[in-house]
Amino acid sequence: MSTVIQQVQKRMLVSLAQVARNLNIHEGDHVLLEERDGGIFISPVGWHEKNQEYFWSEEWQNMMKKSAEDLAQGRVQHFQDIKSLMEKLGGEEDDNA
What does the pLDDT look like over 37-94, one tens digit per residue?
A: 998 888 888 777 778 888 988 999 999 999 999 999 999 999 999 999 999 998 766 6
**Correct CATH for 1-52 of 3.30.413.10, 3.90.1150.10, 2.10.260.10, 3.30.70.120:** 2.10.260.10
Q: Strands 30-36, 39-45: parallel, antiparallel or unpaired by DSSP?
A: antiparallel
Q: Domain locations in the chain?
A: 1-52, 57-89
Looking at residue 49, the DSSP 8-state letter turns out to be B
- Contact between 85 and 79 under an 8 Å Cβ cutoff? The reply is yes
pTM over 0.75: no
28-48: buried (b, 16+ CB within 10 Å) or exposed (e) per residue?
A: eeeeeeeeeeeeeeeebeeee
